Amino acid sequence: MVKPLPKKFKMPQLTTYSGKGDPYDHMQNSEAVMLLHGWEDAIMCRAFPLTLTEHARIWFNNLKEGSISNFNQLRKKFIDGFLINARRKKDASYLLTIKQEEKESLKDYVERFCAATLEVQDLQATVVVSGMLQRARSRDFQKSLSLNQPLTLGDLFSRANKFILSEDVMRHINAGKRDKKRKDRDETNDEGRKTGRGNEHR
């Protein structure tokens, strides 16, 4: 595993891990950056420990010499070593608790629902569609999902975005109508006050 770093090696900015927090998150983020730089397995094994601090660094230093021969082994040992800190994934039924509130916009609801899907283990598109179909308040959106169910998450959120845009347009139109009514009412009141003052001077 011991291989000298390239002469032009430059360590990218990687988040550090002290032993607290989800080890999966740290491993996935670090691995994604290293792969983006095109590093080979041996270089990844040399670079990853540089992201470890405090208790995590002590854990790494206590590994038996020669116990890691590739990055897959390092990944497994790291996850196993800090598994107790991993966030517990929820099952699909959790999505049924994500209900659109009475005054919540479809945009805010979809964003909240989308964030919730990241916490679900073994996520399936059919389950996500079913959850959103049952818990969204927009009748038109529900009808669209019911009549022609999206087959992928991409299709689902693309469909939702169309209804979000439509909702935004209607909100602006209604706001414009309210402003016009308010303006007309104010002008009527002004005319009434002017007429009243005119009668007083007669």
Instruction: Please choose, from the candidates 140, 187, 184, the residue with its C-alpha nearest in 3D space to the C-alpha of residue 160.
Output: 140
Q: Nearest Cα to 138, choosing from 113, 120, 117?
A: 113
28 falls in which pLDDT band (50, 70, 90)?
Answer: confident
Q: Please, what is the average pLDDT of the chain? A: 82
Residue-wise pLDDT tens digits, 130-174 = 999 999 988 899 999 999 988 888 889 889 898 988 887 776 665
Ramachandran assignment for 21, one of left (phi > 0), alpha (psi -120 to 50 degrees), beta (any other): left
CB atoms within 10 A of CB 153: 15
pLDDT digits (tens, 9 = 90+) for 64-106: 888 888 999 999 999 999 988 887 777 888 888 999 998 898 9
Q: Is pLDDT at 125 greater than 90 in this prediction?
A: no
